[in-house]
Structure 1
Amino acid sequence: MGRRLIVTAIAGAGVAVVAGALLFVSGEQGSQAARSAPRMPAWEDPLTGQEVAQATAIASAGSRSHLAAGRIKLLYVERDDDKDVSDRRRADAYLYDYGSDRLIVRTVDLGRGTVVRETVARGVQPPPSKEEETTAAGLLLAHPGYGKVAREAYAGAGGGRLGSAADLGLRGLIFTPSGEKGPARQCEAHRCLRLFVRLPDGTWLDTSRLVVDLSAKKIHTLEW
């Protein structure tokens, strides 16, 4: 009986100690959380990852079927720098419609969660996105002639068997034709890239005469 009382007393003391420790830890964590509370981003701050995701979802809501079909692509999201509304956090989402060759820019008010402005233009070509560069490289690899050359060059540069376009070092620039003849003249209206491909040994694949037409999903050869 005495031993049982002693064990009970020790157990009770243990509970009290644990409870006190929990209160101490809880209070300490609470003060740390208060000290590390995230600061609301100011107008001039870069967009956070959460804001980019929010703007992407809102700007894409009206084009989901075309996005799923690949006709429209979201290029990127940037902070809106309109100083007339510097009291609000806004983002510009750039989308490109390859079916009609139109650039669509939707401005999202992040606080309200709505699109507050949309502009549509033809003949305006912003820099390519990383996804477009990979898409262009995929079209290059799918070409029966140029794809074979690219794979052989990759293997010869010590890269082994080329798995996909994602294995390549890529850089794309918008191609604007200037007096070109042949199919490359379509790039006056289409979205076209000059693609630069870096191989594993640091050399570059010779793509100087190639233009990737993302609108037509074709490779054009410049006539020199």
Structure 2
Amino acid sequence: MAVTGTAIAVAVAVPGSAGADDAPPGRTAAQGSQAAGGSGQQGGGAGDAGPPPGPAALASAPPEGAKGIGTDPLTDDELRRAEALALTPPGAAAQKNVEGGRGPQHLATELADPLPGEQSGGPRRAEVRFYDYGRDELITRTVNLDTGKVEQSGTQRGVQPSAHPEELREALGLILASPLGKGVKEDYKDATGKELTSTGQLWFNGDLYRTYREADVPPQLAECGEHRCVRLVTKVLNGAWIDTRNLIVDLSARTVTRVG
């Protein structure tokens, strides 16, 4: 296994939007950080996914398409409709995604439980979760797919669901753009004889860096848990592993820190 790193903690700021002011450990949402494939309900795969979509389009919800029945998983049409409906409340355009673009970062969309007393065959609802990087807030909205209305909406700070593949891709991009990514590029060239110039040349996976699980947290990462921080594992496509586990990315502040 190629190794990139030392025992010294170093923080490196990466070009991009600055860190947010407040907050989010706790409840798990999107578990979609698998390297290949991934479910539509939770956001797809990581390492071999296509280029991430651009900033969230805050357009009107699409018309109803194919619908599931009862507790059937949400169809692709329902997933698209639920996300669009959840983006309609005022203020969504002012929120920020992981790249600093317009609209919050989508994390997961899941079928919501029926309300107490509702009979089977009642309205289908979806719970949609977003993360606003402008305020470091988790946003959860429940939409009624029959009426097209947002029935519940709430925000939380100090709650960090699992990372979405788009967040992991952005984290890898920040590593490659930082001085601390030099070792990753050298390991890639040693393994392949080629230059590493884009995230698409690597398989990657990962999840949140949770400070309460760590024995020694550098001061530069003290805000992780309030900020959204991730740790990656990477490898050459169909090839050798490249150890990036000692590089922690604070996606809120857009910095890369090496840990021991």
Say whether the fold is shared (TM-score over 0.5): yes
Hey, what's the Cα distance between the residues in 2 that align with 1:159 and 1:94?
42
Q: Give the one of 184, 196, 203 matched to 1:169.
A: 203
Which aligned segments of 4 or more residues in structure 1 are displaced greater than 4 angstroms? none
Task: Give me the CA root mean square deviation.
Answer: 2.3
Q: Considering Cα pairs closer than 8 Å and 6+ residues apart, tell me whether 1 or 2 has the greater RCO.
A: 2
Aligned residues: 185
Q: TM-score, normalised by structure 2?
A: 0.64
- Go from structure 1 to structure 2 and tell me whether the alpha carbon gap of 1:147 and 1:79 turns closer, same or farther (over 3 Å shift): same
Q: How does 1:94-133 map to 2 (within 5 A)?
A: 94-133=129-168
Contact 1:96 1:103 in 2 (8 A): yes
**Structure 1: 5+ residue runs without aligned partners?**
1-37
Partner of 2:109: 77
Hey, what's the Cα distance between the residues in 2 that align with 1:160 and 1:48?
41
Hey, what's the Cα distance between the residues in 2 that align with 1:40 and 1:171?
32
What whole-Å deviation, never above 9, does each CA across 1:132-170 have from its counterpart, x for those lacking one?
0101101111102x2222222223222733342133211
Partner of 2:79: 52
Please state if 1:216 is matched with 2:253: yes
- Go from structure 1 to structure 2 and tell me whether the alpha carbon gap of 1:207 and 1:128 turns closer, same or farther (over 3 Å shift): same
Cα deviation for residue 61 of structure 1 reads 2.1
Matched letter for residue 221 of structure 2: A
Partner of 2:17: none
Q: Rg: which structure is higher?
A: 1
Matched letter for residue 82 of structure 2: A
Cα deviation for residue 131 of structure 1 reads 0.4
Cα deviation for residue 196 of structure 1 reads 1.0
Contact 2:96 2:134 in 1 (8 A): no
Q: TM-score, normalised by structure 1?
A: 0.74
Contact 1:175 1:193 in 2 (8 A): yes
Q: How does 1:196-207 map to 2 (within 5 A)?
A: 196-207=233-244
Identity of aligned residues (%): 37
Matched letter for residue 73 of structure 1: Q
Please state if 1:143 is matched with 2:175: no
- Go from structure 1 to structure 2 and tell me whether the alpha carbon gap of 1:82 and 1:213 turns closer, same or farther (over 3 Å shift): farther
Please state if 1:61 is matched with 2:92: no
Cα deviation for residue 186 of structure 1 reads 1.5
Cα deviation for residue 56 of structure 1 reads 1.2
Cα deviation for residue 213 of structure 1 reads 0.5
What whole-Å deviation, never above 9, does each CA across 1:55-100 have from its counterpart, x for those lacking one?
1111112313434753731122221134635522111111011222
Matched letter for residue 130 of structure 1: P
Please state if 1:88 is matched with 2:123: yes
- Go from structure 1 to structure 2 and tell me whether the alpha carbon gap of 1:148 and 1:39 turns closer, same or farther (over 3 Å shift): closer
Please state if 1:190 is matched with 2:224: no
Partner of 1:21: none
Hey, what's the Cα distance between the residues in 2 that align with 1:219 and 1:104?
26
Matched letter for residue 209 of structure 2: F
Contact 2:201 2:237 in 1 (8 A): no
